[in-house]
Amino acid sequence: MSRHKLTYSGTNVWSPGLLLISLIFIMSMISLFEYNEKQFAAAQDAPSISTVDEFFETSFLNFIEPTSVATGPNGVYFYVVDQGIATGIVQKIDNRGNVHEEWGSKCFAITECFSYDPVMNESESIPGKFGDPTGIAVDLQRNVYIVDRVMESVQKFNDKGEFIGELISDNRTNGKAFAVPQAVAIDGDDNFYVADSGNYRIVKLDATGGYVTDWGSRGIRDGQFGSIDGIAVDFHLKQVYVSDSLNQRIQVFDTNGNFIRNLVLISISETESFRPKGLSVALQTGDLYVIDTGIKDRLEDYQGTLQKFSGTNGNVTQLNLEGLTPKSIAVDTSGKSIFVAAEEDVFLIRGWGS
């Protein structure tokens, strides 16, 4: 992989018009990629690159279309959302691949997700029914949160699959309905953060589903999003990471939505761009693990790559997944066990992150 840096080239003959255009371009680039000494960025040297074969542990093959994965607080279990099956959409699995709990069923029509009360003339969602579940998170009490972009809600269960509640029952926060919520993350105080992709914002709710705050709009400036693809929270630093593949960056906020910095990789290679998707934080180290879909292989197809931003020195390391198309990532608190949902499998990788 090439060294990541930003370079400029041009001609020695500058007309006033060309100078003005160049200045506008440079200012727009500075606006999008603003660096400071506190910002994580690519390492000064080329990142350390490894391949998945070096650290591959095992794969779990009892899936059809796994779209999201999360780890529990004790590292014994991981949780998977599998959209490819009609029943048992959410699965709780140990590190040997044994399924301990499974629950939830798919709605093949939106009317199957709701029950209608003719007396009250209103509809209620049916617990455990999912239209298009795309995100999963687990809190410190092992409660499981599932975000559904068709139902536009978050359902909460205990780790045995027993329904606790729909935390966004009215689908409204700060006067705005949710639109295609994509992902969910939990902090150490059991507040949860919903990536409300259709509204280009992050919504923070408390453990009861009560509205706390929201931030974001569409754009390229700090605090704005071109897309919202993933979200993760560092409990200890109290920081929220949001991936934006369209703007090729990860933005870092405090838990109240105040912008802190950007995490970016700028490459001069024509076959590389930074397209961050899924995110996960190893809480003991503060390392941030990123699914990057912006690197092309020799056939000009985008391949899956994992990037790790070190929480101690900001260095970036890279793990090539060799043709796989990862959809979701989850790491345990130490970063020693990495679960990647890709195609029909969930892969366990050990050793690379530690």
pLDDT by residue (tens digit) across 283-342? 888 999 999 887 655 455 556 788 899 876 678 888 888 777 888 999 998 888 999 998
Percent pLDDT > 70 in the chain is 75
95-99, 161-165, 255-259, 311-315: range with lowest mean pLDDT = 311-315
pTM of the full structure:
0.82
pLDDT of residue 24: 47
| Cross-strand partners of 82 | 66
Residues near 92 by beta carbon (within 8 Å), at least 6 away in sequence: 77, 78, 79, 99, 100, 101, 102, 144, 159, 161
**1 burial class (0-12, 13-18, 19+ CB within 10 angstroms)?**
middle
pLDDT of residue 267: 56
pLDDT by residue (tens digit) across 206-262? 988 888 999 999 999 999 999 999 999 998 899 999 999 999 999 999 999 999 999
Estimate to the nearest angstrom the gap between the alpha carbon of 299 and the chain centroid. Answer: 27
Domains and CATH numbers, the chain: 37-350 (2.120.10.30)
pLDDT of residue 207: 85
pLDDT by residue (tens digit) across 19-71? 544 554 445 444 444 433 334 444 334 455 566 566 666 777 678 899 999 99
